[in-house]
Structure formats: structure tokens, C-alpha cells
Structure 1
Amino acid sequence: MRSIRVILSTLITTAAALVCQSGAHAQSSVDLYGVLMSGFIWTNNVAGGKSVSPAEGPSRWGLKGNEDLGGGTKAVFTLESGFAMSSGQSFQGGRLFGRQAFVGLSNDALGTFTLGRQYDFANDWLAQSSAVYRWNGYFAHPGDNDNFNWQFRVNNAVKYQSPVVGGLQIGAMYSFGGVAGSFGNESAMSFGAKYENGPAKIQAAYFHMNHPALAASEGNWNTMLFPHISAASPNEANALNPQSMDIYGIGGTYQIGKTTLGLLWSHSDYDKLGDQGDGLADADARFDNIEANIAYNLTPQVQFVGAYAYTIGKVHPTDFAPQYHQVDVGVNYFVSHRTILYLAGIYQRAAGDATYANIECAGSSCAASSSRNQVSALAGIFHMF
């Protein structure tokens, strides 16, 4: 009996020594995290009638980890899954880790190099100045034409982000299309830069993708852009299959005391739309979005937010030129550092050749209006862990 106790004591002492030794040489961590959003959204006109439905914000959970390899180098990874709180259904086309799935190396002096399913720099950096990125996943531009509302990610991507030097950071990304016999088919590339100096932040980015409806198949290519390229009924949704897509722009924010001001310009090109049903197979669509936004912290618990966005579209060769005015307002109440109650309102006015307003948001009720005006109001809870 005594010998058994001696053996057990020796094993425990040895295990403890190994743990301490490994901790001294390498620090590793794996974190479970998530964002849960749930609520309701009311829309005054969806195809002529009112609608109330769940407000399906960008809920997600994920695993993020790193292993210290020594010399300032770490192995890093992120696995992130998006889902609907109301039903538990996976977003991003049912993918297990549809939001992000990548692994790579990070070095303090050389930067970070990752491979997998990732965000391009227009979505990852440029969108940081936008209202949709900063407040609850709503307030997107018409049709989410600049992908700031995370309609899709980039597969098979190799991504590099430099270290921050003097407040400046740059990045580059390339995605291999993976189509046999056609190296460039469904491929993508992106470049970005951001600069931070005290209260000022500036971001700029460029993103190009070939055959985005195939390369980013989780995007809703039947309804996302269609109401904004044709004066046809909003109930019609012909499939779009653009030959290529380009998104680029510049934006920035500036903090003055309790107030943060934001300004952004983004541009998107969709070439050879592939819409056979309306004779737009070879048509091209262009969109410019100009946005100004503001956040004011009345108290540590109460934050007011607002934004105005003007979108100008042009479709060639039809000369269809839609325009949209959108006003967004909201209030966030911070119950704690991790739990927020929110109220928000969105008004959109279609102008120019645009016949129907169509607010783009995460709720299932956000479909085209039967008129040039549309209003949505939403309320919900936002919890982080």
C-alpha cells in the first residue's frame, strides 16, 4: 500500500513539474467567445403589407487560439460559426465555420500570415468606418452592394497583415479559385491600409473577385442586388451571376470627447451581370455610397447613434440610374460591459430611376417595399461572451 502511495506521489510531482516547465517555455491559449443577438423588427411596407419578424443579427460563436513558438512567433487560428438565434439554423450556406476558418503564423516584427476562409480588406478594414459595421449589423447600404453586411467571405485565401509601424498597417490577400484547368476562375485579391493617430483613424481598401456568385456561393445573389438594377417588380428575383466584382473606397473616424464622427465613401462594380430574364446578361452595374455617421455617449450606459447614406447607381447599357437616401438612428443601453439593449430605426427613400425602397438588414422582413418609401424599427438584446 505504501509503495502505491509513493508511486502516485511521484507521478503527481512529475506531472506538475512538466506543466510548470512547459509553461515556462511556451504560453498557449484557446478562447471560446461569441456574440448573441435577438429581437424583433417591424417594417411598414413589405410588398404592400406590414411585417413583424425576428431580427436575426450576426450571432456567432467561435474558438480562437495561439501557441507561443518562441522568438516572438506564434501559431494562431480562428474558427467562427454564424447562426440564427430564433431557430438555431447555421448561416453562411449551412457551413459549420462559415464566418471564419483559418490558421497561420504571427510574428511581432514580421506580421501575420494566415490561410483559410477569411475576410477581404474592404470588409475587414474599410467597413470599420461604416454604421453597419459599428452598430449591431444593421444600417447596410442598399443591396449590401459593398458587402459591409457580411453577405460573403473568401475561401482558399492567403492573407498577410503587416505589424503596425508608426500607426500604419498594410495588408494583402489572394484567393486561389480552385477550378481545375482555370487558374483565375473564382479567384480573388484584396489590398488594404489603415492608419491610427490618437483620435483619428483612416482605412482604405480594394477587393476584386472573379465570378463571385460561384466563388462566394453563400451570398443571396437572387435578391441582394436585383431590385437595384431593374425597374421590374420587386417580387421578381432573377439569378445574377456577375463575371467579376470590384469593391474599393476610403473612410475614417475622429473622436472628440464623447462624440465619434465617421465619414466613408465606397464604390462597387459588377460586370456582366448574367441576368438573362431581363436582358441584362452583359450589363454592368456601378454603385457609389457616401455615408456620414455619428455616435454620442450621453452617459457610460447610454449611447445615441445616427447615420445618413446616399447611394448612386448606374446600369449600362440601359442607363437605369437608381438613387437612395437612407437615414438610420438608434440608441444602445449598456446593461453591463457585455450586455446591450438596443432600439433602432431605418428610413429609406428611393429616388432617380429607383421605383422601390428596399432596406437591407439582417431581419427576414427586409424585402422590397411596394413604393419608394420604407421604414423599419427594431428592438433587441446583444450579449457577448
Structure 2
Amino acid sequence: MTKTGRSLLAAGTAGLLAHTAHCAPPPDYAPYASTSEQDPDIGSFNNTGKRVPDVSSLLLYGKVETGFMYGNSDAGQKNREMWNGTSYWGLRGTESLGGGTVAFFFLEQGFKLLSGKGPSNGVEWSKGSYVGLSNPAFGRLELGRMHKPDYWAYVDSDRNLDFGDSSLAAIKLQYDTVLGYDTYTDYFSNAVYYSTPHWRGLSADVAYGFSNVAGFQSLAGRQIGTRVRYAIGPFKFNVAYNDYGYYADNKTSASSSWKTELVSVAYKGWHGIEIGGNYIHAHRTSDNWFASSWQINAGIPLGAYDVNIGTAHVTQQGDRVTQSYSLNYAYHLSRRTTLFADALYYRNNRNGTVGVGVFANDSVQPGYAPWAVGVGMKHKF
């Protein structure tokens, strides 16, 4: 971990503890806050800001989403494409065991709406599969495949509509480039995940993903992650760390790692306007690649409409700089059905080569500024 990262994590954690020790929760304090009121993560209990209900139940849920995109992925390269969006379905079940203890399971699969194909990576339950136990006094334990702790810290800083769902969002620049989720996914496999009880708005998560590889290259895919979260009233604050193990090639015996440090904050204020931001540092040891990034975004509710704006900044290797800007407009026909329009613009410096990441041909010449606009529809069930 870099000196900057260690300092941020230490300062953030110390501030949380000091503030929590002198702060009693207000009368309307809710110990579990949803990720987003606009489009809550209705399926996953791995969102540790969410309460596991003390009931016996079985839920079938999902979302279907598609749209049309137009833009320039590179100089002279016009693109007109249908867009899959993020479509998925899942099963979630709970059984009340008494005394506040709940057993639960979660299975979720993504698919491509336009072609009917399943997950491209061949993982049947591509968006998570785990079983666990929860009790308000002892915390939560999950076993299987689930989102990692720094993912939820990242989610807390995003006030835009449909986190991770809209490819036309400024935060996608961070999501793909700095966090590396397009490289090694935002999940732990073969994992054990523990979340502490909530105390005066303070909680913590720790997770370990086993490589399940013996002998040569036995650390391939091993992950360690943790976060500390403070959420009380309209305020959320996170510090998180993740270490992912991998090998540079199939002949290398010395393992490498992708380390990520993250600090995030969000606040919901006047007329329900939500503002979020974060700072991330990442370092990859096999080739000494490193990057730092920040982002700011806001969600503005206007009755049946929402306007979401955001900007993200990424610096790679100290000289490759990309700034992204996004604008989203959403019209909610109902609680389940939404029409939306998006616009996204990336500005690369003379060394930057980051594409918007939404077109089939998305390579970018150094210094080019790609852009994309789109319209679409989604329906949740």
C-alpha cells in the first residue's frame, strides 16, 4: 500500500472512531440504509447496509434493460449500436431461525437481452451465489461468491441512477480503469465474508477469497478485502482496501498483486439532492502500473424525473490523464418502468487512450476524445 493510501485509511478510520464515540444516533436513525432510493439493490444481502429480514420468504426478482447508442469511439469511427444494458434475474430466500437469527441464500444471473445469451464469462450465477447466517447481535456471515467490500464502499459514493448499470456514466471510467473490475471482476469467489453488527452507525466488513489452487501458482485469484463504514442520517463515509493475487503469465512462479485503496463519501441534503465522491489509488506489481482517481456526482430528484450528473478524473503512470463527464435524464413511468437518456464524453490528454467502453470497436488513438449518447428503457420485477 502506498504512503498516501495508508495515510488516507488511517486518517479516515481515526476520524470515524472519534466522531462515533461522541455522536448518539438521532431518533429517526435507521441502522440499515439502502444503496440508492431510486433503484435499490433489491436482491443482494451482500450489500451490508441492508437488513436481512427476520422472516421466511422466497423472492424471484430481476431487471431487463436495453437501448440504442450513437457516438464516436475514435477519430472518424461512427458507431450506431443497440445496447444490452444490464439485465439479470435472481432468487433470494430467507428462513427465520428464531431469536433474530436468519439463514439466507442468494443466486443471481446476468444475461444479454438482445441476443438471449447468458453471461459471457461462462459463470452460471455470474452476479453472485452464496449462503449465510445473520443476527443483529453477532453480524453476518456469507459463504460463496459475492461482491467485495470495496465495491460496496464505491457504491456508497455513487448517487447516479443505477450504479454500474448504465455504461454511459462518468464513474465507469473509474470502474473499469482504476478498480480493474473489467479485468478481474468486482466479486470474490470461493469466499468467506463477515460483516460486524452496526454500532452508532459504524460497521466493518472483512472478506477472504481462497484461490482453490494447490502447488504451482497457488495464489492465483486469492483476494483479501476490508472496509469500515459510517452511515448515520444523510451521511455516509467509507474507507476500503483490496488485494488481488495473480500471475503475470502461466510460467511465472512469483505472484503479483493488484492493490486498491478507496475513500468515499455521500450526503443527501436539500430537496433530496444527493452528492457523492471518492478518491482511489491502485497499484499493480507485475508491471509497476499505478493510477489515482477522484470523482464527484450528484442525483437531483424532480418528482417523476431524475437528473444525474458526474465527472471522474484518472491519472495513469503519472502522464496518461482522462477526464469523463456524464449527464443522465430518467423519466419514471412507474416504480418498475423507466425511460432514460444518457450522454458521455471522455477527454484524454495527448497520452491518454481510454475509450468510453460501450461500443464493440472501442480502441482509441492517443489524445482522442470519444463520446456517446443513448436512449433506453428498463423494467424491474
Same fold (TM over 0.5): yes
Counterpart CA distance in 1 for 2:127 and 2:248 is: 17
Q: Which runs of 5+ in 1 are unaligned?
A: 1-25, 215-240, 273-282, 315-319
Aligned partner of 1:269 in structure 2 is 283
Q: Does 1:126 align with 2:154?
A: yes
TM-score, normalisation: structure 2: 0.77
Within 5 Å, which residues of 2 pair with 1:190-209?
190-209=225-244
**What is the aligned counterpart of 1:179 among 179, 199, 213?**
213
* CA drift at 1:162: 1.4
Q: Deviations over 1:190-214 (max 9, x none)?
A: 0012211211111221111101889
Offset of residue 45 of structure 1 = 3.2
Whole-angstrom distance in 2 between the partners of 1:251 and 1:137: 20
Q: Which amino acid aligns with 1:368?
A: S
Kindly provide the amino acid, as one letter, of the partner of residue 265 in structure 2: G
Output aligned runs, 1:322-361, within 5 Å: 322-354=320-352, 356-360=353-357
Letter in 1 for 2:309: G
Q: Deviations over 1:199-233 (max 9, x none)?
A: 1111221111101889xxxxxxxxxxxxxxxxxxx
Contact 2:108/2:129, CA 8 A, preserved across alignment: yes
Q: Who is 2:178 aligned against?
A: 145
Which amino acid is the alignment partner of residue 88 of structure 1? G
Q: Please identify the structure whose Cα radius of gyration is greater.
A: 1
Structure 2 counterpart of 1:201, which letter? K
Q: In 2, are the aligned partners of 1:324 and 1:351 still within 8 Å (CA)?
A: yes
- Going from structure 1 to structure 2, the CA distance change for 1:204 and 1:117 (only over 3 Å counts) comes to same
Q: Residue 269 of structure 1 aligns to which amino acid in structure 2? A: H
Question: Which residue number in structure 1 is paired with residue 6 of structure 2?
Answer: none
Letter in 1 for 2:371: V
Q: Match of 1:306, as an amino acid? A: I
Matched, 1:57 2:85: yes
Kept in 2, the 8 Å contact 1:43–1:366? The answer is: no
Choose the corresponding residue for 1:253, options 238, 241, 266.
Answer: 266
Offset, 1:351: 1.0
Moved more, 178-187 or 74-83: 178-187
- Alpha-carbon distance, 1:56 to partner: 2.2
Q: Report matched runs for 1:204-223 at 5 Å.
A: 204-211=239-246
- TM-fit CA distance, 1:127: 3.0
2:300 maps to 1:296: yes
Q: Which runs of 5+ in 2 are unaligned?
A: 1-53
Deviation of residue 148 (structure 1)? 6.0
Distance change in 2, residues 1:242/1:176 (3 Å): closer
Cα contact 2:73–2:355 (8 A) shared by 1: no
Q: What's the offset of the Cα at 1:95?
A: 1.7
Summarize the Cα distance change of 1:345–1:351 in structure 2 as closer, same or farther, 3 Å threshold. same
Identity of matched residues, %: 25
Q: Which amino acid aligns with 2:355?
A: N
After TM superposition, give the deviation of residue 248 of structure 1 in Å: 1.8
Deviations 1:137-160 (A, max 9, x none): 332015433146794422100000
Secondary structure class of the residue paired with 1:127: helix
Q: Tell me if structure 1 keeps the 8 A contact 2:290–2:316.
A: yes
Supply the distance in 1 between the matched residues of 2:266 and 2:326 (Cα, whole angstroms).
17
Tell me which residue corresponds to 1:313: 316
Kept in 2, the 8 Å contact 1:246–1:268? The answer is: yes
8 A Cα contact 2:178 2:280, kept in partner:
no
Q: If the length of structure 1 is used for normalisation, what is the TM-score?
A: 0.76
Alpha-carbon RMSD across the aligned residues, in angstroms, is 2.5
* TM superposition shift of 1:27: 4.4
Report Cα offsets for 1:232-291 as digits up to 9, x if no partner. Answer: xxxxxxxxx98211122111111122311111111221221xxxxxxxxxx211111110
